[in-house]
Chain A
C-alpha cells in the first residue's frame, strides 16, 4: 500500500508542473520540454503497470506455498541482482550477504602456504592483560621456578575463581614480570623439549549436561578462549549466550588463511562446534567467505553449525560485521565469539583429552626474509619466532595484524588470541613534501593518489602517521569502509561528549576495536578511533 501511495505522489509531482509548462508553452513555443516530460510520464506509467503485474506474480508464488526468503519471483532482475558479483561455484544456491563497503589493504609479505617446521620458540607467556574484564593483578597459583604441565592453572581472577588461566606448554616458570602499578604483565614459561600434559577427564559432549560442560571448560583452562560481546570480555559463565559466532576467514591485511590453518585438525574443529552448540540457547553461526579463490575447508562447510556466506572486502571477515548481518546485538543480548584456532583448542580437549595450545601462526610483513607459517603454541616469544628472518633493524614487530594488533618487540610474546605476527618498517623519518608529492607508493583509499590505476599493487607500508592529528573534518569517510548500519563519526563524537543514551542508540554495543580499525586507518584527521571506542565501551560497562 505504502509503495502505491508513493508512486501516486511521484506521478502527481511529474504531472503538475507539466500541465503548467504546457499552458505556458503556447506562447513561448519550446516544445522539446513538453515532449520529453510526456515521454517520461508514459515511461513511468508503463513502469508502474509492469511493477503491479510483477508484484501480483510474487503474491501468487507466495500463496502457492513458496517459503524461501530473498528469492526474486518477478519477471525482471532486481537492480541489486544486475550488479551482484559473480559468485564462485562452491557457494551454490546459499544466500550470500554482499557487503559493498570496505577496503582491502594489499601489503607485501604474505605468508607462503607452507609450515616451516624448523622454527621453534622456547619461551612462552600468558599475559593477563590479554583477557579483558579481569583484574590487572590476578591471584597467582605458581611461583618462579615451578614446574608446570601444559594445562596446569597459572592464575585466576578473584571475581571468578573457577575460571583457570592455564599454561600453554609444560616447562619451568622462569619469570613473572610486572608492568605499571605492579600489574602482572607476563607469566613466562621455558618449555620442555618433550611436552607433558595435565590429564583431563573430558565428559562426552553428546550426553553431558550444560553445567558439567561449563565446569569442565572452566577447570581445563579453555574458558578464556571464549569472548563475550558486547565489550569483548571473557565470557561470563553465569550467562547463556543468545548465539555463538565464529568467523572462518580473516580479511585483515596479510591475515592467515584459515583454510590452511585448519588443515589436519578438522575433527577437533567439528568437535568444538558440537560443544559450543550445547552452550548456547540459540545457534552456532559460521561466517564463510564467498569471495575466496579456493573452496573453503570441509571443516567449515560440513559441520553442525549454521553457515552464512559473506562476500566483501575487509572488514567482511570480522565477526562483529557478520553478527550485525546475521542477528545484531541488542542492548541486553550477550553473544559469544571465537576464532577458528580457539575452536580447535576447545575441540581438542574432547578429542585428545588434553589442553592443546598449538597454533599455526603466520609470520608476515615486508620486512621478513621468508614470510611463512610456523607451528607453535599460544603466547610464543616473538624474537624466537622471527630469529634470522628479519631484513632490517629499524622495524616494528606487531602481534596481530597492522590494523588492530599490538606493538611488541623481540622480548614480547604473541597475544592470546593472535595467530599472526606482522613486521613492518618504522617510518620515523621526515619526508620532503611527503603530503604533496609522495615519492614512495603508500596504501590509501583516496583517488588523489594514483593507486586506483594499480588495483593489485602490493604496498610496502611503514608506520609513519603521514600527517598530524586534526579535528574531525571529512565526513562519510568511515561509512565508506564500514559495512554496517552505523554512523561511526557520530558515535565517536557522542563518546567524546559522554552521551550514554546516544552511544547506546548509535550502536556501540555492536562494535569492538577491530571493527573500527579500518575507519581509523583511512581517517584523514588521524584520530585514534579504536582508543576512543574502548573508552566508550569502558564507560558503558561501568554504567551498567
Chain B
C-alpha cells in the first residue's frame, strides 16, 4: 500500500523548472504525506523525532476543543438571543450546523488566502513551504467574531501574511504574531465594525424602527432544514425572528466597561462566563477547554509555562493595583471607569480573551522573548499592560491583542538585556578567575 502510494506520488511530481508553483505545492503535500528520506550529514548522526510539522500540529491539536465548542457556541448564542433552545442539548443539531455554516467559510477563506500566499512566496524563493501558517490558519478563525464579513477576513489575512511574515523572510523571522496582526488589521481598518455590540452574536442584526432580529436564513440553512425534516427533527425555519426583550448582544467586558461587575452579573452569571456560554470571538469563550489546551502545550513543552504563569502574575498584580485605586464606595453616580477598576481582579480572568491570549498567542516562540529570564519579564509585562489597555482604554474594553503585539516589539530588547547581563557576568568571572 505504502509503496504504491509512494510510486503514485513520484509519478505525478511536476517539473521543478517548468512550473515552480506547482512543484512547491506538490512538495508541501508530499512531505505532508511522507517524511523525506534525507539522512544526517556531518554533525549528529541521529536526530530527535520532533520536527516543525509535528510541533505545529500539536498546537492545532490543542485548539481542537476550542473549535468544537466554538462551533457549537455560535449556534448557542444565536438561538439564545432569540429565546429558543435554552438547554445545552435542546436543538443541538441546529446549533451545531448553524455554527458550521458560519465557521467553515471563515476557516476556508483564512487558509486559502494564507496558504495561497505562503505557497506563492515559497515558489518564488525556491524553498520548501514552511509550516508556520498551519498554526496561524488554525488560530485566526478562533479570534474572529462569527459575523466577520469574508472579504474583510481575506484582506486581513493577506495583510498579516504578506507584511507581517513574508516581508521579514517567512516562518521564524517575523517580529509580530501573525494571527494577531490579522486581527489588529481589522481592529484599526474597520473599527466601527469590530467594536460594536452586534458582531459577537451571529446572524442577528438591527433593523431601523423594529430593533434586533435574526436575518433571513440562506440556502445552506434551507438545505439542512430539508435533511432535518427528513429525520423529523426541528428545523431552522425561515428566520427573521425578533429577539427576546432586553437583548443587546454585549459581551461581559462591554458590560463591565459601562457599569462594573454588577452590570455584568445582571446579564451573565459567573458560571456562564466560566463555561463559555457568552458571546465573543469564536474560540475564546470557554475557559476550561482553553486551560486544557494550555496544559497540553505545557506538557509537550511546546509553549513555555513561564510565559503563562508570569502573564497571570502580571495581570493579577495590575488587577490588585486597580482594585486598590478604585474608590471605596461604588454608587450609581460613580464614573464608569472607576466601576470597571473596581471589578475584583480575579474576575478579569472570566471575561474576554485573557486565557486564550495567554495559552496560544503570547507563547508563540518566534515572537516571544527567547531567554528564560526574558520570558518571565515578557509575560509579566503582557499581563500588566494588557489589563491597563483593557480597563483604562475608553474606546475598546480589551487589551491582550495590543499588549502582546506591543511586547512582541520589545521582546528582542528584553532578550538583549538578558544576554548583555550574561556577557557581563562572563567578563567578571573571567577577570576573577584569571587574576
Point out which of B2, B324, B326, B368 has the most chain A C-beta atoms below 10 A from its C-beta: B324
Residues of A within 8 A of B51 (CB): 435, 466-468, 470, 524, 526
Partner of A436 from the list B42, B57, B130, B418 (CB cut-off 8 Å) is: B57
Classify the interface of chain A: helix, strand, loop or mixed.
loop
Interface status of B301 (Cβ within 8 A of chain A): yes
Interface status of B190 (Cβ within 8 A of chain A): no
Partner of A402 from the list B44, B372, B423 (CB cut-off 8 Å) is: B44
A240–B323 CA distance with the chains assembled, in angstroms: 65
Chain B minimum-CB-distance residue to A14: B320
Q: Indicate if the CB atoms of A332 and B434 lie closer than 8 Å.
A: yes
Interface status of B336 (Cβ within 8 A of chain A): no
The stretch that binds A, out of B199-207, B348-356, B425-433, is B425-433
Q: Indicate if the CB atoms of A506 and B423 lie closer than 8 Å.
A: yes
Q: Indicate if the CB atoms of A467 and B46 lie closer than 8 Å.
A: no
Residues of B within 8 A of A428 (CB): 37-39
Residues of B within 8 A of A442 (CB): 48-49
A20 in contact with B35 given A473-B365, A525-B172 (CB within 8 Å)? no
* Smallest CB separation, B182 vs chain A (Å): 19
B40-70 contact mask (Cβ, 8 Å, vs A): 1 or 0: 1111111111111111011000000000000
* Smallest CB separation, A304 vs chain B (Å): 23
Q: Indicate if the CB atoms of A448 and B54 lie closer than 8 Å.
A: yes
A438 in contact with B37 given A21-B323, A528-B42 (CB within 8 Å)? no
Q: Which residues 233-260 in B have Cβ within 8 Å of A in the complex?
A: none
Interface status of B321 (Cβ within 8 A of chain A): yes
Residues of B within 8 A of A502 (CB): 419, 423
The stretch that binds B, out of A58-66, A112-120, A403-411, is A403-411
A27–B331 CA distance with the chains assembled, in angstroms: 10
Q: Indicate if the CB atoms of A17 and B37 lie closer than 8 Å.
A: no
A24 in contact with B170 given A475-B370, A524-B55 (CB within 8 Å)? no
Residues of A within 8 A of B169 (CB): 471
A26–B327 CA distance with the chains assembled, in angstroms: 11
Chain A minimum-CB-distance residue to B10: A430
A404–B431 CA distance with the chains assembled, in angstroms: 32
Interface status of A426 (Cβ within 8 A of chain B): yes
Interface status of A249 (Cβ within 8 A of chain B): no
Residues of A within 8 A of B31 (CB): 468
Chain B minimum-CB-distance residue to A530: B43
Chain B minimum-CB-distance residue to A440: B49
Chain B minimum-CB-distance residue to A404: B44
Going nearest first, the 4 A-B pairs with the smallest beta carbon separation are: A467-B51, A20-B324, A330-B430, A471-B172
Residues of B within 8 A of A (CB): 2, 5-6, 31, 33-55, 57-58, 128, 130-132, 169-173, 299-302, 304, 320-321, 323-330, 342, 344, 365-366, 368-372, 375, 415, 418-419, 422-423, 425-427, 429-431, 433-434
Residues of A within 8 A of B (CB): 16-17, 19-21, 23-24, 26-28, 30, 33, 105, 242, 327-328, 330-333, 396, 398, 402-405, 407, 422, 424, 426-436, 438, 442-449, 461-468, 470-476, 479-480, 485-487, 489-490, 502, 505-507, 517, 520-526, 528-531
Q: Could you list 7 examples of A-B contacts with CB < 8 Å?
A: A27-B330, A330-B431, A424-B45, A466-B35, A471-B173, A490-B415, A521-B44
